Structure 1
Amino acid sequence: MFASLFILLFIAHLLSDYALQTDHQAEHKALRTWKGYKALAVHAGTHVAVSAVLLGLGGLLLGLSLTPLVALAALLWIGGSHAFVDRRWPVTWWMTHTGSEEWIGRGGAAHVDQTAHVAALGIAAMVMAAL
């Protein structure tokens, strides 16, 4: 069940981070302003909504059995972890403190950002499969 859950969450992530994220969200979601927090909330909410739809379809079409409480906890984790990483400062902090500061300016932050998101999805899928 882990693999199915992970794939569904990964597809939801790709849809939400690339196909459904607006330029406005991408540009403003890290700002510490009302506009920034709103853009971040809508973007994280998109992740939660798309993940919920795909988990629901997984339950219907693939027979994945998730209790509502486990699914809700996973969706809260997905939204919260995504919003945290997308503030951008956690990625910058990580790269600065792990010897990758020069790579920030060469596009490395986007790779670390995506790695953090995918790791969070893996954690969600693992916990859901275990419960």
Structure 2
Amino acid sequence: MNRRTAYPAVYALLRVAADVADHWVQSDHQAQHKAKPGPEGHRALAGHVASYTATQAAALLIGNRALGLGLRPRNMAAALALSGATHYLIDRRWPVRKVAEATGKGNFYQLGGPLGGAYLLDQATHHAAEACAAFLAVRD
């Protein structure tokens, strides 16, 4: 399968796996503590990102086989590394808040509390990172 036809499938696999990992696989403890300062927050977030990356890896491996995508292992690894690293940074929450403030989206970030604008900007940032990760997965 060529890059043009594989890219939408890879993005869909990464996106679905991300939603499953964020909303079903992530523990309540991880969700509540991952943005806290210090070791407690980093431990909770590391556990979440590990299960998140594993969920995306399973989706890519199964999808690659089932759909005959022809993805190379090193490209899948690069995609998963980018997705996991950006997920870690984004889920600390302060980076998205700082970018929102710097770009005039600070009021939107605050809108509706943590599940309003902050959550929507968080998710949009994850989607953008997954789009880049999908490109890495399908590159020649």
Q: Which amino acid is the alignment partner of residue 132 of structure 2?
A: I
SS of residue paired to 1:66: coil
Structure 1 residue 64 displacement after superposition? 1.2
Q: What's the TM-score, normalizing by structure 1?
A: 0.95
Q: Distance in 1 between matches of 2:110 and 2:64?
A: 42
- Counterpart CA distance in 2 for 1:71 and 1:48 is 11
CA deviations over 1:62-87 (Å, ceiling 9, x no partner): 11111111111111111100000001
Normalised TM-score (structure 2): 0.89
CA distance in 2, matches of 1:42, 1:31: 14
- The unaligned stretches of length 5 or more in structure 1 are none
| CA displacement at 1:119 relative to structure 2 | 0.6
**Who is 2:137 aligned against?**
128
Cα deviation for residue 127 of structure 1 reads 2.4
Counterpart among 82, 105, 117 of residue 100 in structure 1: 105
More displaced, 80-89 or 105-114? 105-114
Identity of aligned residues (%): 37
1:15-94 matches, cutoff 5 A: 15-94=20-99
Q: Give unmatched runs, 5+ long, in structure 2.
A: 1-5
Q: How many residues align?
A: 131
Aligned CA-pair RMSD: 1.0
